[in-house]
Structure 1
């Protein structure tokens, strides 16, 4: 009774009716735990097995063919003819409603066999692939791929390991410049935390702090890690940025009171005129070119030279004590290098000028006066006195009248003081520093003779002039004849004309008439003296004069 109930329950479980089974006289025992569901095995595989096991002529009903996936099978051999009932017989009553799976369940109850699954499979027939991913072995949101007796974790970026449990340390490959920064591992990445002075994705770029040109005054900027250094060498500057001009004059000794002028990496000694050299140490020898023509050249570069110049310019001639005077005065002179340039020439006697190039003309001051000729000498002069004068400077008049008594009797001897070169008067000569005035002698003759036909002239009034005795008749219009001397020895006459007449012989009248309607031209001889003309006439004119 219990078996029937069990069978009915089985039928209800399998969705079949109890009338679907063909019962034999021998009861059938079915182990329901070995029943397969509709999805366990392929239907074609079941049908093939049922086909074989329904053939009673076969020696064995091979249930091991049901083992899947290379499972190992153990089965007690059993011929189909020994099976109490075959599925084929079981389906003769109602073949359409008899499920192959139910028949398979029956066979399992008749045949003792076991499928031993290879790792990774399970189920009665090892038909079920064990899903190892069900235990969620993969970490970190990895994708689990079920495999045969295994699984594979497909890790998201940044993870590794069998179960993706290992965070990949991207810093292991040392992507960051070890000198430039530290690697910080991230999920599926990293970043480089750069040290000061470095930049770039891998801190490989050393920041060039020199790019902004911080160094001044053409200094060389040397880039360093997180900094820079200014190389001020040969720039003349110092300081962090080479911003401070080095005082190059600090240890410089400019000589001869020269001022040191600081430059850029240099200095200059500003020499006073007359000095040269980098340190103004050279006293320029202005005398080297021998500028003094007639004299000795002295430089102005020391006190003693200036003392010498002072003494000479002040007329000191005490040469015996000259050296002592120079020493004494040099101590008192206010010497200054600013006016120590140049030189001065101590001229030889008789010369002057900046370079003693000019001979002193001692005659320029006219030391000989008007009574002599000055001949210039070197450092002196000589006077050549005119006749009638003597002495060093021809200032002493020679009184020829007293010394020689040169004039004739009844004449006056006049000594020429100081100018013996007066113009000659008629009959009088100024020669040899005296002249003889013949007037008294000639006046006596005029009184005696009543005429001037004979007179005396010449240097000493000893020359008798009597040209009028033979030439008197040439004087016209009642003019008076006077004998004269010319060219020292030749005689001639001079006619003393009356008013209204002129000419050498008074032959020309200074009065003329105009008759008719024309001009009358009157010729007169040119005179040395000025001529005044006086017109006196009466006329009645009908036309203008001009």
Structure 2
């Protein structure tokens, strides 16, 4: 194929006009800075001339206000359509639908020197050779023209390459590597080494100091131990070995030997230096007053009386002696002593007496109360109460107010709670009322029941949901959220000193981010799983990858696109697309998924975002029409189709409530729950097929920048796109602020068209920058 030049003298004149853009000003000078887009103004005898820039973008026109378009100079055969990138000499001839084109590079395929021809799937493209630039590839460019040296390095051009002269602390071909001064382990005694640029810092563990933490701090230097205590220097602390009479951290406390209470039986303890003494109460003796003095040792009781030793005194038991008195020294008559007990009748006999007992009593003196409870007639732990117990009368409900010996024989059973009957033989079933709730199991007990509660409940009837947060398990200011048989700790955010807590109870100091490899201002988030510290990187917009080192930003200047051919399984029921974009144009195609009959389209139209879905002959459309997105700022949009049941559309915008505008549309019955096969084709930024373009509202390809593209939950990275699947895509986002400062004069408004601008003139002014006014004749 031979791209055809336009006819002789006219093409030469147009080329000369576009490439050099010399224009003579009319009654104007360079004082008004008429040359735009970085053009150089040259004073002439008749006014001025603008020398327009050739790189990185080429501009033309009298005042350099028009961006260079290669398709305006060079034409393609009638079977092909010309596509170019504004401002660059590159162009390609794309075979039009319906033609059988032969795409071959010939010797005259590219019309200018220092260029080369490449063949695409359905087109050929002309580009400048390496080392050349300009609209005709006529300029030699320095290898340092696109300076890739990083970190303030100096680029030095060689014959066909370049090298970077790095600043101290950096290395690598492009000075991209920060030299790790900690690699030699300069810090001692387990100190933490933190790498800086061209230097390092040592953070010592407690007990050490110095630039390399090489000095062991002597905590005994201040002589903290008192009372002749010996100081023992240890790591980050000291220990005092005290003399026998002192204790305490610094041996400052004298030991109180009375503190352990060594004196017995109420004796008074007197503390001395290194020992103690006991002052015994009356009746006791010994070093610790532990010995009871025996007052019966002198045998004070007479006439066979039994001496009972007590504390500091004695008592004589004159029973069975026939004598009374403190020492059993007085003889008595038998019945005068009332030997018969329990109201028995004493009958004097010769040389003795006889006791006539009431029923229920026995013994020589009727002293034995016959215990009817010996046989344990009361069952199930019932309490047997003898009728002969006088203390029960007037105090216990089963007995009357007055006791009578005539009715003292027999017993009553007081049943344990839960039992009844004369002998407490009947067990009361307390589970009959169903007292256990929340799935608890009732177990009948004696005088009660026991509820076996399911996990998470407690209380007598399992009615109380256990608050696992009551014991304050969450530490370090974390808030506790109670669950069923569990709890969850919400840890506080990062403190001012950089401390972050984690773990089940927020009790673990997260240190996973102390050494991390997150790049490009990514946020390092520490993790703690299975008692191991780690981290993850939360990337800033425009970057991806485990360490956020992969750029995701790319741009289209005009007529560009990316085509993806994705794999869909028979069970694919989710369509998901999310992307961040930036543009100043109101009508463009962001994404087209599908074919002519079934499609999903995302596009700005009149500055508002539209989503259109067609399938099974039905068309659905959603629009967020309260916030425009062609303001030149970054915007994030997400589109989801869930099981072909719901179409969900979300825009993250500062003007929306809580920063989010969303629309949701239920899909009518009859939709296949799985995605159509045509949805495997996804176009980003534009379309080539005319039949697909007709389905869009904007009818134009995208011009601007995109980043963080995700399709069906998988990130799509620009560096993975092959050249035969894309056109006009450039990595990064290079946007020249054309309207700042405002190039339009006389109060005109500048409208940013991304790669150029236009001025909205106020009458009577006109012209590219509104500098031409209405002439007045006097």
TM-score, normalised via structure 1 length? 0.32
TM-score, normalised via structure 2 length? 0.24
Structure with bigger RCO (C-alpha 8 Å, 6+ apart): 2
| Max Rg structure | 1
Q: Which is richer in helix? A: 1
Q: Which is richer in strand? A: 2
